[in-house]
Chain A
Amino acid sequence: MLNFLKFTFSGSAMALLVGFGVEQLRETPLPLVYKSSESMIETSNQSSVQDTPNAPINEENNTTEAPQIETIRLKEFLEYQKKDKTVIIDARSSLFYRMGHIPKAINLSRKNYNTEINAFYEQYFKHNDVIRIIVYCAGEDCHDSHVVAKGLQSLGFNQVMVFAGGWSEWEEHQKHTK
């Protein structure tokens, strides 16, 4: 019993030390105190893209609460996908994006949102008339697409949607259509 307790406590201490040690090697290490992804993205939006001259500023967002983000299913997604001026965003990490993504989707992961949004904005949105943005992530359970969609909405894009089924539903659809 004593051995087990020793193993548990020394193992936990080791896990914490190694964990926080390894985190320090990352570009954006996990801080000691939790801060939600939504609030981090909001802070990043306030300090970056909205300062650029052509950033779309949503007047409504400045005065009232942002509208609810529309969630769409596969059928609607397939219809919107065919339309012009629709941007599809993959909110999964770049590793999973490289392993496979929906055609024409561009990668803006929730994880790298703060560091990539400026370059992303310059590259894809500044000189294009984007009407709607559809964001997806791994599947039904993942939350990242909602976080990224909220971030983009707070930048002033009005028609931001979340494809709820995400990559897993898309993969399933591809299997059935092949």
Chain B
Amino acid sequence: MKRLAYTFARLLLGGIFLTSGAMKWLDPYSFADTIAHLKILPVLAINPVAILVIWSEIILGIFLLSNRLIKETCRLLIGMNCLFICVLAFAIHTDNYTSCGCFGELNILEFGAHGNIVRNMVFILITYALLRFNSANNFQTSPKK
């Protein structure tokens, strides 16, 4: 039962991050615009950060789906989600929030500014549970010796 829950959570989270990265990759200009509207980064850093976020999500999503490097992936995802929460909170505070751009043009899992913070908190909880389950039960696919 635990293994089933672990697999379900891993595939769900992996699917979400892979979709999120892929949707942004379809139109990186739009995601770069979203970052620019937040007015947090200098102009020179906007496009590299956009590329970094898009491809990190794709790569981490693939790691989760393929059940590889789960500990490192989960820790990084927790860090990324914490960062996203801080950015969203800062954008709301400075009144610069226009859109999250989290899933590109796909209108799924978008709940408005405050809702998106709660959504990211849920992601952190699921990722933390994955990390704990993985550490306790070693569900990860290990490379053949």
Would you call B76 and A14 a contact (CB within 8 A)? no
Chain A residues whose C-beta falls within 8 Å of the C-beta of B99 in the assembled complex = 141-143
Q: Count how many pairs of residues, one from A and one from B, have CB atoms less than 8 Å apart in the complex.
A: 97
Q: Contacts A30-B50, A141-B100 hold; do A111 and B72 have CB atoms under 8 A apart?
A: no
- The smallest beta-carbon distance between A91 and chain B, in angstroms, is 10
Chain A residues whose C-beta falls within 8 Å of the C-beta of B37 in the assembled complex = 143
Residue from A3, A8, A36 in contact with B33 in the complex, judged by beta carbons closer than 8 Å? A36
Label chain A's interface by main secondary structure: helix
Would you call A3 and B72 a contact (CB within 8 A)? yes
Q: Contacts A7-B76, A14-B59, A141-B100 hold; do A37 and B51 have CB atoms under 8 A apart?
A: no
Would you call A15 and B105 a contact (CB within 8 A)? no
Label chain B's interface by main secondary structure: helix
Q: Give the bracket for the number of chain B residues in contact with chain A.
A: 35 or more
Distance, CA A37 to CA B32, complexed state (A): 9
Most buried by B among A137, A143, A167: A143
Give residues in B with beta carbon < 8 Å to A: 25-30, 32-34, 36-37, 43-44, 46-48, 50-52, 54-56, 58-60, 69, 72, 75-76, 98-100, 105-107, 110
